[in-house]
Amino acid sequence: MTRRLTTAQAILKFLGQQYVERDGHEHRFFAGCFGIFGHGNVAGIGEALLEDPGFRYYLCRNEQAAVHTAAGFAKMSNRLRAMVTISSIGPGATNMITGAAAATINRVPVLLLPGDIFARRNVAPVLQQLESPSSQDVSVNDCFKPVSRYWDRIYRPEQILTALPEAMRLLTSPADTGAVTLALPQDVQAEAFDYPEALFAKRVWLIQRPRGDAEIFRRAVEWIRGARQPLIVAGGGVIYSEATEALARLAAQTGIPVTETQAGKGSLRYDHPQALGAIGVTGTPGANILAREADLVIGIGTRYSDFTTASKTAFQNPAVRFVNINVAEFDAYKHSALPLVADARVVLEGLAAALEGWRVSSQYSERIARYRAEWEQEVDRIYDLRHGPPISQGEVIGVVNRFSGPRDVVVNAAGTMPGDLHKLWRTRDPKGYHMEYGYSTMGYEIAAGLGIKMADPSREVYVLVGDGSYLMMAQEIITSVQEGYKLNIVVVDNHGFSSIGGLSRACGCGGFGTEYRRRTETGLDGERLAVDFVANAASLGAHAVRARTREELAGALAAMRSHDRTSVVVVETDIDQRVPGYESWWDVPVAEVSEVESVRAARSQYEEARKKERWFL
């Protein structure tokens, strides 16, 4: 039996029949499609979406934002659901590349269907076509290759018979998921073919929980039992595996302290007795001190980014060893670790049984408790600083954290806030902290906030976004209004790129080119440029107000509860009142030769700090 359909119609009918199952729970994988129509997809994918209202289409305002929304949705869904994003050819397609890179780096599934130039070539060069003098088999969509887990160009309608199952294999893989790109020439989208009915049968993709090698597990238990100062580094894999309860039980049973990466924050509640909070460049004092001294590091679902390892300076014990629990073999072998390629929850449950009766020493437990108590005092100090006005960013975080409910979600991605939130935010729910820090993409926050709200409308979503990131991509506010998904947006106005400004000063460059100022004869050093973010947000359909004090901010947050649409509060902060760094360092090379004295001084400090970097062989 066959069914005659266009390529675009067949793709949508196939996608609508894809389901996933984990732990006995089954549901549809794709929740809909975001995109913008142009000449490269309006008569192909566009017609197919018109004909299939069950596969819901959402109009976005920027194709990059569409991918961020899809990524936020998938991450909030623990990668068990996904969105499709579509574009026309040319700039519509290349707009999605940044979003694709972010999705792949963060290991979250997104299916991209960019329009492409004509497969038959006779009308080339078409509008928006990039011509190559050395090949006719090139388009701008080739740019997706390095940022996609799977890439294919569909030259003939029947090619989707093999391409679509491969795309689904990657999208549903806990180890290899990311952006999947199927480039669709605009003529092929509209061509018909007699597709076998079997292509459109319901298919359930089983999300496995690999158990790992028994001998490696035995050795891991042996190493843990022999450790004097073990430390857990919890990454995003803990949350994606839904292993947070298993981790909490194991930590309580053994007394092993738990630190968290940006993706892993929320693996433990902030008030769990073994929770030391953030690790690395944006880490807490206790976490980084114990990391420096640890003789065994147990990495769970982490890829050991430079922020987690403090540019390979975090783990200084000469005898330190690593046990890495990860579904991705690539990550499990990092740091010359004992690689336990397995599901986090399965392993944690197994470790609880294998380590019964074993616990860290009372002296180690006392240190953990002391570091925890000291850190809670420090968080309270920053939350209650009473600086300004303008108030400090730490106070803004404190006001939002204390006002928000246990299941509410905070979302962020770029600037100084990722570091401050990683340290200061008190997580009470595994999905309460949503940070895109694999790519740290400016413009991610509002778009992803929409995806998060769509994934779980029962939660309040608080988007914390700096003025620089807001100016790059605020337009999805109107998409949230269009779809009726209310976001609570806090715009932190610090008159420039605060994060890079601070880094510039640390490198001796004095914040050059990082503040929003008018040009004078000597450079960009004139008066500050005033941006009316309240008027801007209101023009996009949001309810918008300004808060000048912490009391006004708290009042604005309270008022948001009664609003029926996306609300924005703009609060100015003091760029010079920063949350400190604690017991850590980040490798940002400073010019080796310079005529600027402050740069030379920074280079001297840099060379000294680099001496602590380690190879793990």
Distance CA(581)–CA(558), nearest Å, equals 31
Dihedral sign for Cα 104, 107, 108, 109, please. Answer: positive
The residue type of 541 is G
Distance of CA 483 to the CA centre of its chain: 23
Q: Which residues pair with 182 in a beta bridge?
A: 152
Q: Which residues pair with 325 in a beta bridge?
A: 300, 340
Q: Say if pTM beats, i.e. exceeds, 0.85.
A: yes
Distance of CA 61 to the CA centre of its chain: 21
Beta strand 82-87 with 110-116: parallel, antiparallel or unpaired? parallel
Distance CA(258)–CA(273), nearest Å, equals 9
Q: Residue 306 corresponds to which tokens in the numbers above?
A: 């430079």
Q: Which long-range contacts (CB under 8 A, 24 or more apart) does 156-161 make?
A: 156/119, 156/188, 157/6, 157/7, 157/10, 157/188, 157/191, 157/192, 157/193, 157/195, 158/193, 160/7, 160/10, 160/11, 160/14, 161/195, 161/196, 161/199
pLDDT of residue 612: 96
Distance CA(250)–CA(258), nearest Å, equals 10
**What DSSP assignment string belongs to 17-50?**
TEEEEETTEEEESEEEEEE---TTTTTTHHHHHH
Please report, for residues 137, 149, 256, 399, 563, the alpha-carbon distance to residue 155 in angstroms, rounded to integers and kept in the order given: 11, 20, 55, 55, 49
pLDDT of residue 78: 98
Structural contact between residues 120 and 145, judged by C-beta atoms closer than 8 angstroms: no
Distance CA(75)–CA(66), nearest Å, equals 14
pLDDT of residue 496: 86
> How many residues are recorded in the chain?
617
CA angle at 340 for the pair 615 and 167, rounded to the nearest 5°? 100
The residue type of 601 is A
pLDDT of residue 98: 98
Scored b (16 or more CB within 10 A) or e, 338-358 reads bbbbbbbbbbbbbbbebbeee
Scored b (16 or more CB within 10 A) or e, 20-30 reads bebeeeeeebb
Where are the alpha helices (H) located in 95-174, listed in sequence order? 97-105, 160-171
Low-confidence spans in the chain with pLDDT less than 50: none
CB count, 10 Å around CB of 367? 18
Question: Among residues 138, 156, 74, 175, which one has the least CA distance to residue 85?
Answer: 74
**What DSSP assignment string belongs to 298-354?**
EEES----TTTTTTTTS---TT-EEEEEES-HHHHTGGG-EEEES-HHHHHHHHHHH
Distance CA(195)–CA(54), nearest Å, equals 20
Domains along the chain with CATH numbers: 2-206 (3.40.50.970), 214-374 (3.40.50.1220), 384-572 (3.40.50.970)
Cβ-Cβ contacts under 8 Å for 453 (sequence gap 6 or more): 459, 461, 480, 485, 486, 487
